[in-house]
Amino acid sequence: MNQLKHYIGVVILVAVLTVATGLGLQSALQNGYILPPAASWQAVPIDWLFGLHFWAIAFLFSLIVGFLLYSVIVFRRKKGETGDGVHFEGNTTIEILWTLIPLATVIYFAYLGAQTLSDIQRVDPDAIRVNVTGRQWSWTFEYPELGIVSEELVLPNNKQALLRMKSQDVIHSFWVPEFRVKQDVLPGDMVRELRVTPKEVGEYKVRCAELCGRDHANMRAPVVVLEQADFDAWVEERLAADPTKSDDPVVRGQAWAIQFGCAACHSFDGTDGIGPSWAGLFGKEETMEDGSTVLVDAEYLIESIRDPGAQIVAGYQNVMPANIGEDLTDDQIADIIAFIESLK
């Protein structure tokens, strides 16, 4: 009878601790203390699975702490006691149970994880396609079906977007915390895909979640979710004001510099960066790392773009993508040089 009393006491304590801990974790999740508010339909099953894990964590925490607290309080050595506690070798039945039950639980959660993965990867044949390019240290978003290239990711609400991603240099990782889903972006010819369906209009931020070099912390880009009518208006506005279609090579050159990530390392206003600032660069004599001097003219700039490692300015390192020259046409390079020359 006394033993039954102890069993009942510890079960009640574990139950109370489980409920209190579980409700606390659920509240923290729902109020944005653990994760920001969900903003995609893919986040719904993910947060549901998070919730189940939190209850499992709450139970396991309470099971350990509950037995520990009960034992410390109830079975503590009383005043005047000097002997040892009763010695026992173990309990085979309990050992079998605490092996099989956790094994079954892990298998069940694996099944739930596979089901959730299937849900968030469900294909919508009408998804809008966006080609995402990551590079040190910027993102570019191309809408091939719309003829738009943007430095911000703009998506229509409640419509699936198929993000086809690649890297120009090292491994990056595309992550919008409010969308929950995340995908590594790999260099080479491998294109990784990620599907996301926004469900909340608003402004967010894409971050790189893979340490990718010196300016990794600043590899961010705006994400804007609009209602369909507003998204259509944005498309029309971008097409009408596309700077790459301008008659002015300086305007086109600035657009190319932003689109191909040059602005991530080279400032346009004299601010120090990872690479030399373009302000006042054209016509200047630069000292190279080998001590020689070079006049920054069109010939030097073309060589620096086509073969980034040929001549490095003293005090800087060559972090330009090796294949950047292959991505740019001769006309685009000429436009960029015109833009650099304009930055007196």
CATH of the domain at 278: 1.10.760.10
* Residue type at position 344: K
Asked if residue 87 belongs to a domain, the reply is: no
H-type helices in the chain, by residue range? 2-30, 43-74, 92-120, 228-240, 249-259, 298-306, 324-327, 330-342
Which of 188, 205, 238 marks a domain boundary? 238
114 and 134 belong to one structural domain: no
Is the residue at 85 inside a domain?
Answer: no
Two tokens, residue 272: 């120090």
Q: Are residues 227 and 145 in the same domain?
A: yes
Give yes or no for residue 325 having a pLDDT over 70: no
The answer to whether residue 42 scores a pLDDT higher than 90 is yes
Mean pLDDT score, 222-249: 86
Rounded Cα distance, 323 and 328, in Å: 9
Strands 153-156 and 148-150: unpaired
Is pLDDT above 70 for 1?
Answer: no
Question: What's the chain's average pLDDT?
Answer: 86
The answer to whether residue 88 is domain-embedded is: no
Asked if 60 and 136 sit in the same domain, the reply is: no
Q: Give the residue numbers spanning the domain of 277.
A: 243-342
Whole-number pLDDT of residue 202: 94
The pairing of beta strand 153-156 with beta strand 220-226: parallel
233 and 150 housed in the same domain: yes
Domain at 228, CATH number: 2.60.40.420
Structural domain includes residue 83: no
pLDDT given at position 280: 79
What is the rounded CA–CA span in Å between residue 324 and residue 201?
A: 35
> Which amino acid appears at position 231 of this protein?
F
Q: Which amino acid is at 108?
A: Y
Integer CA distances (angstroms), 152 to 112, 244, 259, in order: 34, 16, 10
Residue 250 has pLDDT above 90, yes or no: no
Q: What are the beta bridge partners of residue 208?
A: 174
What whole-number distance in Å separates Cα of residue 14 and Cα of residue 59?
A: 8
Q: Flag whether 40 is in a domain.
A: yes
Q: Which two tokens stand for residue 188?
A: 């080479």
Which class for 264: exposed (0-12), middle (13-18), buried (19 or more C-beta within 10 A)?
A: buried
Structural contact between residues 182 and 145, judged by C-beta atoms closer than 8 angstroms: no
Closest CA to 317 of 284, 282, 276, 281: 276
* Closest C-alpha to 165, from 191, 141, 142: 191
Instruction: Specify the range with the lowest mean pLDDT, choosing from 3-17, 45-59, 69-83, 120-134.
Output: 69-83
**What is the C-alpha radius of gyration for the chain, rounded to an integer number of angstroms?**
29
Q: How confident is the model at residue 212 (pLDDT cuts 50, 70, 90)?
A: confident
**What is the number of structural domains in the chain?**
3
The pLDDT value recorded for residue 155 is 96
Question: Do 282 and 217 belong together in one domain?
Answer: no
What backbone phi and psi angles, to 5 degrees, belong to 205?
A: -145, 130
Q: Which residues of 327-340 are buried (b: 16+ CB within 10 A; e: fewer)?
A: ebeeebbbbbbbbb
Phi, psi of 59, deg, nearest 5: -65, -45
Same domain (yes/no): 56, 108 = yes
- Per the structure block, which two tokens stand in for 95? 């050992």
Mean per-residue pLDDT, 58-80: 85
Q: Which of 26-30, 34-38, 91-95, 246-250 has the lowest mean pLDDT?
A: 246-250
Pair (291, 325) in one structural domain: yes
Predicted confidence (pLDDT) at residue 340 exceeds the cutoff of 90:
no
Q: What is the pLDDT of residues 143-180, one digit of tens each?
A: 999 888 888 999 999 999 999 999 988 899 999 999 99
Residues in the chain: 344
For the stretch 88-140, pLDDT in tens is: 777 888 889 889 998 999 999 999 999 999 998 899 999 999 999 998 888 99
Task: Give the C-alpha separation, 170 to 136, whole Å.
Answer: 8
32: left (phi over 0), alpha (psi -120 to 50) or beta: left
Domain finish residue from 103, 120, 137 = 120
Among residues 199, 134, 137, 192, the alpha carbon closest in space to that of 163 is found at 192
Say whether both 140 and 164 belong to one domain: yes
Share of the chain above pLDDT 90, in %: 38
Does residue 84 lie within any of the structural domains? no
Better pLDDT: 82 or 175? 175
Task: Between 324 and 38, name the one with better pLDDT.
Answer: 38
Asked, for residue 211, whether it belongs to a domain, the answer is yes
Please give the pLDDT value at position 220. Answer: 92
Same domain, 228 and 158: yes
Q: Which of 277-281, 300-304, 308-312 has the lowest mean pLDDT?
A: 308-312
- Regarding pTM above 0.85, the answer is no
Residues 137 and 177 in one domain: yes
State whether 169 and 222 are in the same domain. yes
Any domain includes 205 = yes
Phi, psi dihedrals of residue 119, rounded to the nearest 5°: -65, -45
Residue 40, SS3 per DSSP = strand
- Let me know whether 153 and 114 are in one domain: no
Highest mean pLDDT: which range of 72-81, 151-160, 251-260: 151-160
